[in-house]
Structure 1
Amino acid sequence: MVIHGSAVHNTFRRFKPHFLMVFTQIGYTFLYFITEASFNHGMNPHVHLTYRHIVSGLVMLPFAYVLERKERPKLTLALFAEIFVLSLLGVGLTLNMYFASLKYTSPTFIASMVNTIASLTFVIAVILRMEVLNIKSQRGIAKALGTIISLAGVMIMTLFKGPKLRSLWCTVICIKRNSTIHENWLKGSILTVASCIAWSMFFVLQASSLKRYPAQLSLTTWMSFIGGAQTAVFAAFVKHKPSEWIIGLNIDFWCVLYAGIVCSGLIVFIQLWCTEQKGPVFVTMFNPLGTVMVALLAYFVFGEKLYTGSIVGGAVVIAGLYLVLWGKEGDPNLNINSEQESRLSYAEQLETEIQVVSSLDKNS
């Protein structure tokens, strides 16, 4: 009984980052639709982002202050500047473009395009030597091949529609669309692509920042407040109507509350922790799950159209995802026992792996 309990505990500890990343995709899936409903109701995306990150910062602040008092490093000017750039890439610049694009496209399209972040992050991480790619090993080939397959699946979902699936039941929930929404698909596509590039750079820089500021709660809080301030400046520059900032106790309020607490607070903290444990590529490779969840929820609950291209592309994306995850399972297992490995950060594991790979190359 004790052995069985220990085995379950070890299994959970091993796959804890995987479980947490699945949870983040579930959280983001609901965010797609609740924000669309709020924007259709008249909420300005930039005002939404400002309120959302203020809420996130206020919620995370007491936890960061109490739980990380002893381990939080001193905030220098150089470190603050780095967090400022990190907030700009992850919040101020990226999310403003991202949510603005939702007004011109659809949740399913955006969820599909977000999957390119994994491929972009993988390429940047390899170039900067933050991700080890040994093409002489099976797992190294699996990581590269899985990334390409996932990207191919995204292209299938985006470019190929195919026959439309017939709905077998009535819509459970109906989101009323504003007539001004989805009127400029090209503009929305450009905004989405630009946000994906910036987001990839954010994930890579995030892994680097965690080495100098290894306090995830505090970093989440700082990014929320700084990102909220950046967005407030941007919103004030774009929109000058005071009425844009007034929200009532309706879908706009609940959307801000959910997005602030769950997505900008809890989920960002989880992503930071998983980035430190497994690296930026691991975190971004779970985006395809969000695509599938959004497509299924849109079809079964909200009555949106579902095409065979989305199903085929989703299957291809998931296949690529599991190839990459299988390849990455071999990353931290070079001359490190499991108990020591659990105490090492991603950066330390990566340094160990680079040394072992270099040693093997010399010996061969």
Structure 2
Amino acid sequence: MAQEACNDLGGIYKKFKPHLLMLLTQMGYTFLYFITEASFNHGMNPHVYITYRHIVAGVVMFPFAYVLERKDRPKLTLALFLELFVLSLLGVGLTLNMYFASLRYTSPTFLASMVNTIASVTFVIAIVLKLEVLNLRNPRGLAKVLGTLVSLAGVMTMTLYKGPIVRNLWHPLIHVEGKSSIHENWLKGSILTVASCITWSIWYIMQAITLKRYPAQLSLTTWMSFIGAAQSAVFTVCIEHRRAAWTIGFNIDLWSILYAGVVCSGLIIFIQLWCTKEKGPVFVTMFNPVSTILVAVLAYFVLGERLYTGSILGAFIVILGLYLLLWGKEGDEVYIKSEESSYQTTYEEHKDNNIQKITSAKKDVLHGEP
């Protein structure tokens, strides 16, 4: 009885392991928004931050990649290196520089909300490239489309509709200094955010393609970190000529770089690559709304930021859309398994028929029949 219970728990854990890992990554990203904003308010240059962050990630991940994947790592050819260069440019050099630059002109809540459009864009691109199964005649296929649209509607509700303010019942637990020093430019920030979301979606799709040729996730994470850091450094040197911008003290700047490098650009990227290989790029992006909701809740309860009823309404809509997407994605696994089972059955039947024909032909020969 105990053995059966353990087997059942093991089966449940194996089934929902990617879901649990993605929830943990969103919790990690939630804290990143606030510690990064605090660092930028302290005067940290976003582009210097991205460069240092990925240097830290590369240094931390390198020993694990070298030791654990020394036998499984594919040979790095020139064509594959160029592919990794483009992948790093999309995921680090271009996307993150635009994304974190926009944080200086907007807010963590706005960025976390806009990130949810990545799931919709990724879903559309994946369908075009035939990386996603879409059958509109099937209820689960409709659920994926409807879930994507509902999640997008929830994001737009959180972003565009404010509604009445929910009053704070107590003083904020943490006061972030330097907030007033930021010059808000929502138009510029919005353009940078939208552009980064588009390139981010392409990056997720390209991950799924690259993983087929380079399945070593630890090594791929390490390569992207080092190449992305070099790209970001070149970009930063071109636009930032002050040497003082590269100086990091023993303060929030250092802690934000270490956290982002070790946890977000190292551990979380590795987890996302694994989940992308197991479940596909759309599955990974589906969990972005979780971070949106956590950021809004923490910003309200901890930092004392204003929370509007539109954000609450949008959060419920986003959760509904996420549930529909997950339900639809579960149908993909059932469909793929049934197709594989059908193919295997057909193959076995064909194999048995061939064996029977060969056996019958041998008997005919033995009996002298033509």
- Range class of TM-score, shorter chain: over 0.9
**Unpaired runs of 5+ in structure 1?**
338-350, 357-364
Q: Which amino acid in 2 is paired with 1:59?
A: V
Is the Cα contact below 8 Å between 1:106 and 1:182 reproduced in 2?
no
CA shift for structure 1 position 177:
3.1
The Cα shift of 1:178 comes to 3.9
Give the superposition deviation at 1:95: 0.1
Q: Aligned pair in 2 of structure 1 residues 354, 45: CA closer, same or farther (>3 Å)?
A: farther
Q: Which amino acid aligns with 2:59?
A: L
Q: Are 1:305 and 2:319 counterparts?
A: no
**Residues 1:321 and 1:182: Cα distance change in structure 2 (over 3 Å):** farther
Kindly state the Cα deviation for residue 179 of structure 1 after the two structures are TM-superposed: 3.3
Deviating beyond 2 angstroms after TM superposition, the runs of 4 or more aligned structure 1 residues are 177-180, 334-337, 351-356
Aligned twin of 1:348? none
1:310 counterpart letter in structure 2? S
Residue 361 of structure 2 is matched in structure 1 by: none
Are residues 113 and 353 of structure 1, via their aligned partners in 2, closer, same or farther at CA, if it must alter by over 3 Å? Answer: farther
Q: Which residue is 2:196 aligned to?
A: 195
Quote the Cα distance in structure 2 between the aligned partners of 1:78 and 1:85. Answer: 11
Give the 3-state SS of the residue equivalent to 2:176 in structure 1.
Answer: coil
1:224-273 CA-partner distances (Å, limit 9, x unpaired): 00000000001101100000000111000000000000000000000000
Unaligned stretches of 5+ residues in structure 2: 345-370
Residue 56 of structure 2 is aligned to residue 55 of structure 1: yes
- The one-letter code matched in structure 1 to 2:60 is V
Per-residue CA deviation, residues 96-117 of structure 1 (Å, 9 max, x unaligned), is 0000000000000000000000
Amino acid at match of 1:270: I
Contact kept? 1:332, 1:353, Cα under 8 Å = no
Q: Which amino acid aligns with 1:109?
A: F
Q: Aligned partners of 2:92 and 2:216: how far apart in 1?
A: 19
1:330 Cα deviation (Å)? 1.2
Amino acid at match of 1:277: E
Aligned to 1:106: 107
In 2: Cα distance, 1:202 partner to 1:157 partner: 25
Q: What pairs with 1:142-291 in structure 2 (closer than 5 Å)?
A: 142-291=143-292
Matches within 5 A, 1:308-319: 308-319=309-320
* Counterpart-to-counterpart distance in 2, 1:321 and 1:195: 22
SS of residue matched to 1:326:
helix
Residue of structure 1 in register with 2:77 after alignment: 76
**Pair 1:223–1:319, CA change in 2 (3 A):** same
Name the SS of the counterpart of 2:221 in structure 1: helix
Code of the aligned partner of 1:81: L
Deviation, structure 1 residue 157: 0.5
Q: Closer, same or farther in 2 for the Cα pair 1:144/1:206, shift >3 Å?
A: same
CA distance in 1, matches of 2:222, 2:52: 14
SS in 2 for 1:202: helix
State the TM-score, normalizing by the size of structure 2.
Answer: 0.91
Other structure's SS at 2:166 match: coil
Q: How does 1:341-352 map to 2 (within 5 A)?
A: none
Aligned to 1:120: 121
How far apart, in 2, do the equivalents of 1:296 and 1:105 lie?
A: 18
Deviation larger for 258-267 or 168-177: 168-177
Query: Relative to 1, partners in 2 of residues 1:353 and 1:285: Cα closer, same or farther, differing over 3 Å?
Result: farther
Task: Tell me, in whole angstroms, the C-alpha distance in 2 between the residues paired with 1:95 and 1:116.
Answer: 16
3-state DSSP of counterpart to 2:307: coil
Residue 353 of structure 1 deviates from its aligned partner by 10
Q: Give the whole-Å Cα distance in 1 for the aligned partners of 2:132 and 2:46.
A: 34
Contact 1:56 1:224 in 2 (8 A): yes
In structure 2, C-alpha distance between the alignment counterparts of 1:125 and 1:210, rounded to whole Å:
15
What is the deviation of 1:354? 12
Q: What is the Cα deviation at residue 333 of structure 1? A: 1.8
Q: Which amino acid aligns with 1:226?
A: I
1:40 matched to 2:16:
no
CA distance in 1, matches of 2:183, 2:302: 20
Quote the RMSD (CA, aligned, Å): 1.5
Secondary structure of the residue aligned to 1:93 is helix
String of CA shifts for 1:18-37, please: whole Å, max 9, x gaps.
00000000000000000000
If the length of structure 1 is used for normalisation, what is the TM-score? Answer: 0.92
How far did residue 336 of structure 1 move? 3.0
2-structure distance, mates of 1:47, 1:250 = 15
Letter in 2 for 1:239: E
Please state how far the C-alpha of 1:334 moved relative to its aligned partner: 3.2
Residue 182 of structure 1, CA deviation: 4.4
Instruction: Name the structure 1 match of 2:130.
Output: 129
Contact between 1:92 and 1:230, CA under 8 Å: does it hold in 2? Answer: yes
The match for 1:14 is: 15
Structure-1 separation of matches of 2:342 and 2:107: 42
* Cα separation, 2, equivalents of 1:245 and 1:354: 59
* C-alpha separation in 1, matches of 2:67 and 2:314: 45
Identity of aligned residues (%): 69
Structure 1 contact 132–354 (Cα < 8 Å) conserved: no
Which residue pairs with 2:68 in the alignment?
67
CA–CA distance in 1 between the matches of 2:211 and 2:340?
A: 18
**Letter aligned with residue 286 of structure 1:** F
